[in-house]
Structure 1
Amino acid sequence: MTTAIYFDCDGTLLTFEGEYADLFATACEEVGLDADPESLSATYSERFFEAFEAFHPEPYHEGTRVAFEQHDIDTAPERFVDALLEAEITDTVVDAGAHDALDRFDDDARLGVLTNGVPTVQRRKLERHDLFERFDGFLPSYEVGAHKPSPEIFEAARERLPADEHVYVGDSLEADIRPAREAGFLPVHVDRTSEAGVAIDHLGTLGRAAELL
């Protein structure tokens, strides 16, 4: 029997060391913005998520453009976006045993990444930690035209990596676990907030997932 095991990216394969507000403030400093980072971030985030949900081709630039216009900032949005993405990608971390955990999966299992996100950004995060080449399939929501928890993205995942059984490993009950189950995937919940080992749905780390699959 063939098995395809998909992983969520943010919150599962990768986590962030700090708070997003700090990353935003770092980007403001990097380009020398004389503005209140908290207020600017609120405007940026509102427009970014609107653009992201609508599959705007450049949601980071769109959020920045609107924020700069509303706050009368005369700085090229491209400079800020570059700084923000660099701060975001640099802040990502992986579990100490993540690479070993992926290596422990059966050779017959096909591994993939199924993630909400802009393809170039998600790929850069994975490449930073030498993870991208470990997967047989890479399926960001922007490529599908559907974000999780939409069933369309899980159907696209089945088509990308055909197998007898499909597994989805994720950290969000609403965006990952419940829709994966409804789509016929075996869901594995990486819950970093609970005591590791309490139940099969509370794995804590990728290493624990590898032991159970």
Structure 2
Amino acid sequence: MKLTDIEHVFFDLDHTLWDFDRNSALAFREIFKKQNIEIDVDDFLAVYKPINFKYWELYRNNSVTKESLRYGRLKESFDSLRFETCDATINLLADDYIEYLPNNNHLLEGSMEVLDHLRNTYKLHIITNGFEEVQQRKMVNSGIFDFFQTITTSEEAGVKKPHPQIFEKALQKSGALPQKSVMIGDNLEADIVGASQFGLHAIYLRSEDQDAQNQFIQIQKLKELLNYL
């Protein structure tokens, strides 16, 4: 069933349009080679992914700083693998990762097609908790920057999704009304519940292993958006 009376479509970026997992793996392969880290990247990513997820939850809740996230997720991953390295190397890797990550440009399946279709009817925007210094580079390098009229980052807003202030900031920048807006994202709490509580419609892009028991519209592929917009 189509959502009616929608004028503005807000997207999360990482894991929603931009293929974070694929691009992150490529960045780690590059920086491990650069810094002569003799560890299998697949083994590293197996422990890193849940640790990174945990640190982003802490960051979103203001329990760790940006710097602590960047260092801690690497330190804890190496410790879990009993791979010995020094703090100086970890800090180099943390800096290299942020530098190399936006150089990889893979989008999730259907992203370009969906954006190209939606831009003819709606005004498109980004709301992201990602680091400000890399989010625009990701969008430019992947060819999607020009689809969006506004980009609102958590660092600009001073709070992170699901805090209502970031949605308020995004709506102010875009001139949108919440009842005429919809948020699409992969994080149920940050993107979907946060947007809904501020009065926006919301569509949950979930993976197969994520909880399907909630009241929101759910899709598993971006192309399914076109069934609702």
Stretch deviating more after TM superposition (84-93 or 131-140): 84-93
Shift of 1:207: 1.9
The answer to whether structure 1 residue 175 and structure 2 residue 181 are counterparts is no
Instruction: Look up the match of 2:146.
Output: 133
1:157-177 CA distances to partner (integer Å, 9 max, x unpaired)? 111111241110011211111
Instruction: Look up the match of 2:97.
Output: 84
Q: Where does 1:12-27 land on structure 2 (aligned, <5 Å)?
A: 12-18=16-22, 24=28, 27=31
Equivalent AA in structure 1 for residue 112 of structure 2? H
Instruction: Look up the match of 1:209.
Output: 225
1:109-144 CA distances to partner (integer Å, 9 max, x unpaired)? 211000112111111221221111210010111110
Q: Is contact 1:48–1:63 with CA below 8 Å preserved after alignment? A: no
The answer to whether structure 1 residue 155 and structure 2 residue 163 are counterparts is no
CA distance in 1, matches of 2:136, 2:96: 17
1:86-113 CA distances to partner (integer Å, 9 max, x unpaired)? 4533456213432121121253521100
Match of 2:131 among 88, 113, 118: 118
Q: Residues 128 and 108 from structure 1, CA distance in 2 versus in 1: closer, same or farther, beyond 3 angstroms?
A: same
CA distance in 2, matches of 1:2, 1:47: 34
CA distance in 2, matches of 1:77, 1:114: 29
Gaps of 5+ in 1: none
Equivalent AA in structure 1 for residue 94 of structure 2? V
CA distance in 1, matches of 2:147, 2:63: 27
Q: Is contact 2:60–2:160 with CA below 8 Å preserved after alignment? A: no
Q: Residues 30 and 106 from structure 1, CA distance in 2 versus in 1: closer, same or farther, beyond 3 angstroms?
A: closer
Gaps of 5+ in 2: 80-84, 210-214
CA RMSD of aligned residues (A): 4.1
The answer to whether structure 1 residue 188 and structure 2 residue 188 are counterparts is no
CA distance in 2, matches of 1:89, 1:21: 12
Identity among equivalent positions (%) equals: 23
Shift of 1:12: 0.6
The answer to whether structure 1 residue 105 and structure 2 residue 113 are counterparts is no
Match of 1:59 among 52, 67, 77: 67
Count of equivalent residues: 207
CA distance in 2, matches of 1:41, 1:118: 18
For 1:189, what is the secondary structure of its paired residue? strand
CA distance in 1, matches of 2:109, 2:176: 29
Instruction: Look up the match of 2:36.
Output: 32
Shift of 1:31: 1.5
Equivalent AA in structure 2 for residue 32 of structure 1? N
For 2:203, what is the secondary structure of its paired residue? strand
Stretch deviating more after TM superposition (100-109 or 41-50): 41-50
Stretch deviating more after TM superposition (168-177 or 82-91): 82-91
TM-score normalised per structure 1: 0.73
